[in-house]
Structure 1
Amino acid sequence: MKIKKVLVSQPKPTSEKSPYYDIADKYGVKIVFRPFIKVESLSAKEFRQEKVSILDYTAVIFTSRHAIDHFFNLCSELRITIPETMKYFCNSETIALYIQKYIQYRKRKVFFGATGKFADLVPTIMKHNTEKYFVPMSDVHTDEIKDILDSKGIEHTEAVMYRTVSNDFTPEEEFDYDMLLFFSPAGINSLLKNFPNFEQKDISIGCFGPATAKAVKDAGLRLDLEAPTVESPSMTAALDKFIKESNKN
């Protein structure tokens, strides 16, 4: 089936130089950016039920910009004033720089890993092994951080501060796409929540990552495009190739 309209379940790119726009121009297709999921903070009441006092800790570990936003917003809602002495450990430099949105950036209290992987941040944490670490988490997370910090004897506490929820469609929104692109299992869950009687028929489905691919198949849907691959390391590279093949006739 010829691809004319694609739904990308991510926010619209901030840059006009996004490869998605190049694909739209190249093949004359319409690409719509419409997230199936959104991230929201727990309420102050919900967080209090976890019985965690943030001021008991001397350092915070941030694994994403979402974690930063919801940590500081929830602290504000709880009327907690974060002391100047608090230290921050971030998975990457990008995340570390984002913290400037909320505090004055000082190298002596903001640390980050080289690769974006938590394991590469651990040596820095070990140099500050007397700190008491607080780790803001999503409701959907693995035990990787907990297991690593436990194995190193680092004092820490994880607490859920934000969650992923379905970004529901309104009755007025058209759903006339030839192709849907997903980037997380939560996106697949949202599709089925919004459209419990969804029938794929000729709609092509593409996904990024093995966990999302598994969610597509587990839902009984047909997976037409999977990235990354050796030939297509990004979703846009895979989409370009897929549309070229689909629309060549």
Structure 2
Amino acid sequence: MNHLLKNKLFISTRPKGQSDELNRLLKEAGAETVEMPLIEIRPANLSEKENDILEQLEQFQWLIFTSPNGVRYFFEVLEKRGIANLPEKIQIAVIGPKTEEELSFFGYSPAFVNPGNTGEHFAAAFLKKVENNSYQPRILLALGNLARTVIQNELSGVAACMRLNVYKTVIPDLTDEKTVQLIKDNRYEMLIFTSPSAIQNFMKRFNDISAKNIRLACIGETTASEARKQGIQPLVVAKNASAQGIVESIIQYYS
């Protein structure tokens, strides 16, 4: 595997500070990497009503996190409000090992970990866990403003779900011009995308480049679906939605 990607330049579009593992794995395979964040994660501005929800967490039986960002910004909001601990009776469910790892940083362990990596996988598995309850559980989902509604929709018949957007995704103010020029001059191997919103922001920034000339790798099918919607056919779609998974899929592509 070493140096299979030698002299190939990959551009990561992940948020600033979130490409370390991806860069390390690519460099171990001989690749060069450049970062060009196309999304920026910021704390959401919660309304008074939304802040009140945080003071009444004891009303919920479950708290669901679908990403490390959701975990991070949820506990950041709690800290700002002086809430030291979650109610003892509340159980936590998460999507994926990275979200579980972030949760452990705050001293909590999930009662349920999704076996897959998507909202559809989570909803199907979690539905089996709660559908035979003698009561309808109250569930709080800590999400970002662009997160899909698939979990709430799938659980609506067996649970009372409340959504709390604790972070928001925006287009970064600045993009490095040297990296922009690499793309315009077609001097890169692949762009790496890990979210549909990054695809959308890319097309807004680079609307003068033909979609058929864009080479990209996607972290999973949800992101790949957005690429196809924009007229781009991904060269690589990771089966395992993680940095490790996307690098393994890229290496497999070149093998």
TM-score using structure 2 length: 0.69
Distance 1:93 1:137, change over 3 A: closer
Q: Deviations over 1:107-144 (max 9, x none)?
A: 7xx51236253433345556695753322122123333
Which deviates more from structure 2 when the two are superposed, residues 64-73 or residues 53-62?
A: 53-62
Aligned equivalent of 1:6, options 2, 5, 10:
10
Aligned: 1:191 with 2:193? no
Select 2:165's aligned residue among 160, 164, 176.
160
Which stretch of the first structure deviates more once superposed, 194-203 or 110-119?
A: 194-203
Query: Normalized against structure 1, the TM-score is what?
Result: 0.70
Q: Name the count of aligned residue pairs.
A: 227
Find the residue that maps to 1:113 and give its secondary structure.
strand
Query: Closer, same or farther in 2 for the Cα pair 1:131/1:12, shift >3 Å?
Result: same
Q: Superposition pairs for residues 222-233 of structure 1, below 5 Å?
A: 223=233, 225-228=235-238
Which of 35, 41, 44 in structure 2 is aligned with 1:42?
Answer: 44
Q: Which residues of 2 match residues 1-249 of structure 1 at below 5 A?
A: 4-10=8-14, 11-14=18-21, 18=25, 20-24=26-30, 29-43=31-45, 46-48=46-48, 50=50, 53-58=53-58, 59=60, 60-85=63-88, 87-91=90-94, 94=97, 95-103=99-107, 105=108, 110-113=110-113, 115-116=115-116, 117-125=122-130, 129=135, 132-152=138-158, 154-170=159-175, 172-175=177-180, 176=182, 177-178=187-188, 179-198=190-209, 204-221=215-232, 223=233, 225-228=235-238, 234-243=245-254
Q: How far off is 1:7 after superposition? A: 0.7
Mapped partners of 1:7, 1:16: distance in 2: 9
Counterpart code for 1:149: L
CA–CA separation in structure 2 for the residues paired with 1:224 and 1:125 = 37
What is the one-letter code of the residue matched to 1:99? L
* Greater Rg over alpha carbons, structure: 1
User: Using a 3 Å threshold, how does the CA distance of structure 1 residues 97 and 130 change in structure 2: closer, same or farther?
Assistant: farther
> 1:73 deviation in Å?
0.9
Please tell me whether the aligned partners of residues 131 and 155 of structure 1 are also in contact (alpha carbons under 8 angstroms).
Answer: yes
Is contact 2:114-2:125 (8 Å) kept? yes
C-alpha change, 1:186 and 1:196, in structure 2 (3 Å) is same
Which residue identity lines up with residue 69 of structure 1 in the other structure?
R
Over aligned residue pairs, what C-alpha RMSD do you find? 3.7
Unmatched segments (≥5 aa) in structure 2: 1-5, 117-121
> Secondary structure of the equivalent of 2:208?
coil
Taking only the aligned residue pairs, the percentage that are identical comes to 18
- Structure 1 unaligned spans of 5+: 245-249
